[in-house]
Structures are given as structure tokens and as C-alpha cells.
Amino acid sequence: MNSSARLFARYLPAMQPGSLDWIGVRPARKAPVQALDSTDAIAGLGLMGDRRCEGTPGSARQVTLINAEHMEVIAKLLGFDRIDPARLRRNLVVSGINLQALRHQRFQIGDAVFEATAQCHPCGRMEQVLGRGGTAAMLGHGGLCAKIIQGGKIQVGDQVVPLLAQQELF
């Protein structure tokens, strides 16, 4: 376990569960995002109906997540009242939990278990979908990438629950 994983794992037991607020999938590259109430998370692949599910098995970017709270910050930085989650092209919007504290950690949503792999940095498309300054507004607020460790059904309203590391912390 690396040093940041040890640090974050130390505080996981004190974290309150969050909530899954929104699910979105893209059936093809550059296709519009489709909002769903529920879907199946497929271990090692991605979300049912999302183009990444048909990509490289074992990829570290099977699912992308963003905090609803960070979406509010992005909106304020751009002078918007709010931002439709579909515009940000992330798969899952969660609230009530700090995603950055889950980096390199496992967490459960519904029946599925995920492992956060890396930050999800904004791409140049954010300038197109959010306007001038979109990419800059998302820096540090882009969320996380994750892989699916255990498949299962997820649905809007499910809790986002950090899982304790099974490894020795010290």
C-alpha cells in the first residue's frame, strides 16, 4: 500500500457514506450522454450501456465520478446557476463524500465494488461544452476514475460507502 493510500485509509472509518445522485452512459464516442436511474456495473469492464464497457478489459478508467459539490464550484467559476451533469461527461455524480479521500481506495455503491485509480482531469472538450474557461474551471474538480472490482446493480439513491483496506496499514 503506498503512502497516500495509508493516509487515506487511516481516515476511512470516520467518513460518512455519500449518495449516488446521477448515472450517465455514452453508447459511443462523442455520443450524447444518456441519464439512467440504474444500470449494471460489470467487473473489469464498465457500466452497461457505456462505450468504455466494450473497451480494454482491466482499464483503470472504466468509470468516471464527480462530486456534486464540485459541480457547484465549476458552475460558479463559469457564471452559471448550475451545470447539467451530462455536459461534464462523467458517469456518476455523488454527493456527501469527498471523492479525493477515496483515491486508491475501494468503495461500494449498491451491489458493486469500485477502486478509485486516479484523478479524472478535464479534457479539451470541456471548452466546447462549457465555453471559454471550461477546462480551467474544472482543474482540481474533475473527479476520479475507477475500475470495477465486483460487479452488481447500482441505482440513483444508493449509498457510496468507503471500504476498509484489507492490508496492514503500518
pLDDT at 114 over 70: yes
Confidence at 108, pLDDT banded by 50, 70, 90: very high
CA distance 46 to 140: 24
pLDDT at 71 over 50: yes
CA distance 93 to 19: 9
CA distance 68 to 70: 5
pLDDT at 56 over 80: no
- CATH code for the structural domain at 3-162: 2.40.33.20
Given this model, what pLDDT does residue 124 score? 80
CB neighbour list of residue 21: distance below 8 Å, 6 or more residues apart: 68, 93, 94, 95, 156
User: What are the E-state strand segments in 29-151?
Assistant: 34-36, 38-42, 46-47, 63-67, 92-95, 106-109, 112-119, 144-150
Confidence at 166, pLDDT banded by 50, 70, 90: very low
Beta bridge partners of 24: 35
Q: CA–CA distance from 42 to each of 58, 66, 112, 113, 117 (Å)? A: 11, 20, 8, 10, 17
Confidence at 168, pLDDT banded by 50, 70, 90: very low
Given this model, what pLDDT does residue 13 score? 60
pLDDT at 140 over 80: yes
Is 148 in a helix, a strand, or coil? strand
Q: Which residue has the higher pLDDT, 136 or 15?
A: 136
Predicted structure pTM score: 0.88
